[in-house]
Amino acid sequence: MEMTTTTEKCISSSSSSSVHGGNNRREEYPKEGADDDVEAGVLGRDGEAAATTTRQRLVSLDVFRGITVALMILVDDVGGIVPAISHSPWDGVTLADFVFPFFLFIVGVSLAFAYKKVPDKMLATKKAMLRAVKLFIVGLILQGGFFHGIHELTYGVDIRKIRLMGVLQRIAIAYLVVALCEIWLRRVSSGGDIGSGSMLITRYHHQMFVGLVLVVTYLVILYGLHVPDWEYEVTSLDSTVKHFLVKCGVKGDTGPGCNAVGMIDRSVLGIQHLYAHPVYLKTEQCSMDSPRNGPLPPNAPSWCEAPFDPEGLLSSLMAIVTCLIGLQIGHVIVHFKKHNERIKRWSTLSLCLLTLGFSLHLFGLHMNKSLYSLSYTCVTAGTAGLFFVAIYLLVDVKGYKRPVFPMEWMGKHALMIFVLVACNIVPVLVQGFYWKEPSNNLLKLIGIGG
């Protein structure tokens, strides 16, 4: 599988922190400054202190996150069998391509609650930075190559070749930037609550301006930066070293070999620290079994075997934008008390994003997860918004909480599930028990191991 086969299953989570009216119900969340605060916004219930367990939560957030976790596992385990739901080889989107933006969206929503009240901005900033560093380090260990797949019984990684970026690392970056925006870039209300959309924009317009700057910066670099020819080497299993020259010399190319996203990562991070099994290996140009991974065609382009990180530096700018969109959705929950007000504003924003995203795609700015294109950002964020509306209606408005309890539980324990399942920790541990020969292990007995 490609990038997210064990890696793109990022578990962000959301804890929330505000009090809402709506039908005389109180929905309480941890507040910044307490011991049970915003860490749960990234880690789920696993990151929360016991003090929050007695508080009523906005259950739809946990259910949304739990469904996304289940979807993550589904596309990872079934995607190799059903390519239609696996990640798109390049342009276009499939079911799997919505998973990561959904997590970023949930993180943004949670931050609106977690930082509703910030009595000490410097302390809140320090805590946000510390949590981001912790999450980045966890991602570096889990996704940098230290834990191997179920077909290998070894572990450890050569730090000269460790993958520096990854899903959790990108979430850490987006979380930190958006948390700082929420801490520092909002107008303090002079009195009264926000009663209209214009007042909401006025209070948070600096955050929206940051999002606009990120989008413009991304587009200027992607379409305006010159990408020169470049070279790389690949060592095959028989220790043969193959040398490749990729001819580019272009601007604005959005293909796999000559885009600015890959060039920046090769220049800043180093090609040896990028993801070694990029999704474009499933394209017709690079696979005789496309849309599955397969042997290289005889006339395969020179870039086919080059590493490419789908969670790279430039594309992370748009990931932050997804998180910022989620933050604005969270602001609606914080400031508007009635169900119909929330649903109307969420739906309007989401439909506008979907319309913009599909329009951009039709006019040539194609949806592309690996590049995290603008159209992809709009479509996935708009879809997340509408999906959240549907879950909110079902769970928090209609009260159908019991049928979705399994999803709620998964949402509260998202990080644990990611570590144990998505990163192959459980399969590797189980595989360590064998009879006489390592190949005679429990995973092979149940048809999973090789």
For the chain, the domains span 59-218+315-442
Tokens read off for 317: 């700018």
**How far are the Cα atoms of 145, 162, 233, 408, 416 from residue 424, in angstroms, in the given order?**
12, 18, 29, 23, 12
Bond prior to 291 in cis (omega within 30° of 0): yes
The average pLDDT across 41-66 equals 60
* Residue 234 backbone dihedrals phi, psi, to 5 degrees: -130, 135
Mean pLDDT of the chain: 83
Q: What's residue 230's pLDDT? A: 97
The average pLDDT across 329-354 equals 94
Q: What's residue 83's pLDDT? A: 82
**pLDDT tops 60 at residue 21:** no
Tokens read off for 400: 């159908």
The C-alpha atoms of residue 93 and residue 21 are separated, in whole angstroms, by 38
Burial category of 192 from C-beta neighbours within 10 Å (exposed 0-12, middle 13-18, buried 19 and up): exposed
- Report whether 327 contacts 108 (CB < 8 A): yes
The average pLDDT across 324-330 equals 97
Q: Say whether 371 sits in a helix, a strand or coil.
A: coil
Under the banding of pLDDT at 50, 70 and 90, the label for residue 434 is confident
Q: What's residue 309's pLDDT? A: 96
Name the pTM for this structure. Answer: 0.86
**Amino acid at position 332, single letter:** V
**pLDDT tops 50 at residue 448:** yes
Burial category of 250 from C-beta neighbours within 10 Å (exposed 0-12, middle 13-18, buried 19 and up): middle
Write out pLDDT tens, residues 186-223.
887 644 567 677 888 889 999 999 999 999 999 999 99
Do the strands 230-235 and 241-246 form a parallel or antiparallel pair, or are they unpaired?
Answer: antiparallel
* 148/386: higher pLDDT: 386
Q: What angle do CA 78, 84, 86 make, to 5 degrees?
A: 50
**How far are the Cα atoms of 260, 263, 388 from residue 221, in angstroms, in the given order?**
7, 11, 32
Select from 304, 302, 306 the least CA-distant residue to 283.
304
Write out pLDDT tens, residues 93-141.
999 999 999 999 999 999 999 998 899 999 999 999 999 999 999 889 8
Write out pLDDT tens, residues 243-267.
999 999 999 999 999 999 999 999 9
Instruction: Outline where DSSP puts E strands in 393-438.
Output: none
The average pLDDT across 421-427 equals 70
The average pLDDT across 414-428 equals 74
Q: Say whether 152 sits in a helix, a strand or coil.
A: coil
User: Looking at the DSSP assignment, which residues form a beta bridge with residue 213?
Assistant: none
The C-alpha atoms of residue 381 and residue 44 are separated, in whole angstroms, by 20
The C-alpha atoms of residue 352 and residue 357 are separated, in whole angstroms, by 8
Least reliable range by pLDDT among 5-9, 82-86, 121-125: 5-9
Q: What's residue 24's pLDDT? A: 38
The C-alpha atoms of residue 258 and residue 247 are separated, in whole angstroms, by 8
